[in-house]
Amino acid sequence: METRNIGSLEVSLVGLGCNNFGMRIDEAASSRVVDAAIDAGITFFDTADIYGDTKSEAFLGRALSGRRDLVVIATKFGMRVDANRHGARPEYVRSAAEDSLRRLGTDRIDLYQLHQPDPTVPIADTIGALDDLVRAGKVREIGCSNFSAEQLRDARAAARGNAASFVSVQNEYSLLNREAEREVLPECERLGLAFLPYFPLASGLLTGKYAAGTPVPEGSRLSQSWAASRFLSDARLSTVEALAAWARSRGRTMLELAMSWLASRHAVASVIAGATSPTQVRANAAAAGWRLSETDHAEIETILRNR
């Protein structure tokens, strides 16, 4: 497995998103997914306090028992856990970190990410609290998620002197959602930030297992109304079918195309893909090794522009 860097952290090119833990799969199934990920060379595990109603962190921590030093753990804070636990106030940053450390069963969080901007709190105050956690040895690096290019600039300006500053941003990015290319990815290049794409497979649409006129598999993420309304449409299915045909003509799968296309982006440090089974995680881990040529990129671009 190829590795890249997020600040001082060395991570696997394919990461495991743990948002399914405690939501779509139970603890035993989550543990099997973690085992398969490690066996496949995945060392980067991304979760959040809100995933699985806080169960994701607990499941992940127990699954990694005895193997903590072999992996890089990223988690997030800031979205609403309950009426009292949300936001980016300095006092909450500290308490949220302690809660995550306890659930994960670890003494440090490798990458601690602000899950979304909090317009009610000056970013300098939040970064100051995160810097305190770094200085205390409870956090190694800090990052953010769902930030705009302007917010990234503001955050960098707010990190004074030797204070910790964001080393990564995690935003949505895939063959079907390229909003990040407008401003955020160029800003990552300028600031030297690692980019972590979430929903890299558009909630499964880019795995190649969906087709127009075919019922959505029961139990899949796209069988859930929120995911279907966000990702599923005739136009998107048509685009995916055209991309899949192009990949097949080169002896490749849609999954390989989706993962390798993201991995070819210079700022992308790790492609974080969720999984609900060992089979899925093994497929994801093996899918990012296709080295796309300039001609490949041009042909993919033509397909995307013409749909």
DSSP strands (E only) in 115-250: 139-145, 166-172, 194-198
Q: How far apart are CA 262 and CA 200, in angstroms?
A: 8
Q: How far apart are CA 231 and CA 236, in angstroms?
A: 8
Residue 191 neighbours by CB distance under 10 Å: 17
Long-range CB contact pairs, 208-213, < 8 A, 24+:
208/240, 208/244, 208/253, 208/254, 208/255, 210/237, 210/240, 211/237, 211/241, 212/237, 212/238, 212/241
272 beta partners: 15
Q: Is the dihedral of CA 42, 196, 9, 65 positive or negative?
A: negative
DSSP strands (E only) in the chain: 3-6, 9-12, 14-17, 44-46, 72-77, 109-114, 139-145, 166-172, 194-198, 271-274
Distances (CA, A) of 154 to 227, 253, 275, 297: 32, 40, 34, 33
Q: Which 8-state DSSP code applies to residue 275?
A: -
Residues acting as catalytic residues: 51
